[in-house]
């Protein structure tokens, strides 16, 4: 199932808020091979860097204010319960 997943990131819609990085349980400076990484230059859109580490929780999609994230084959994606670490991150921005 995982090999069918694609995350499309529309950089024209993206407002470079980096909230997808904050809420993603598989991203952040403390992660090895994070899925989403911030751009080197402030104000530029982040990159989807390591989709293999994506757990398909779709939290980034939930929180993207610009609707810049789209999942291909999302009908195949089983939503997972977001873990405690992700909930702590989310609580900082809502």
End-to-end CA distance of the chain: 32
Among 66, 70, 74, 90, binds ligand SF4 (CB under 6 A): 66
Tell me the pairing of strands 6-9 and 36-37. unpaired
Residue 60 touches ligand SF4, criterion: CB under 6 A: yes
Residue 37 touches ligand SF4, criterion: CB under 6 A: no
Residue 26 touches ligand SF4, criterion: CB under 6 A: yes
Residue 89 touches ligand SF4, criterion: CB under 6 A: no
Smallest distance from the beta carbon of 13 to ligand SF4, in angstroms?
7
Residue 68 touches ligand SF4, criterion: CB under 6 A: yes
Residue 39, token pair as written in the block: 């751009």
DSSP 8-state secondary structure symbol assigned to residue 68: -
Closest CA to 93 of 61, 63, 73: 63
Residue 28, token pair as written in the block: 């952040």
| Residue ranges in contact with ligand SF4 by CB under 6 A | 9, 14-20, 24-27, 35-36, 45-46, 54-60, 64-66, 68-69
């Amino acid at each position: 199932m995982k090999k069918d997943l694609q995350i499309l990131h529309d950089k024209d819609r993206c407002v470079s808020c980096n909230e997808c990085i904050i809420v993603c349980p598989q991203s952040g400076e403390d992660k090895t091979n994070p899925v989403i990484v911030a751009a080197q230059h402030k104000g530029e859109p982040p990159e989807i860097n390591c989709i293999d580490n994506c757990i398909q929780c779709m939290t980034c999609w939930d929180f993207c204010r610009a609707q810049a994230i789209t999942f291909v084959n999302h009908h195949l994606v089983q939503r997972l319960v977001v873990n405690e670490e992700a909930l702590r991150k989310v609580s900082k921005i809502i």
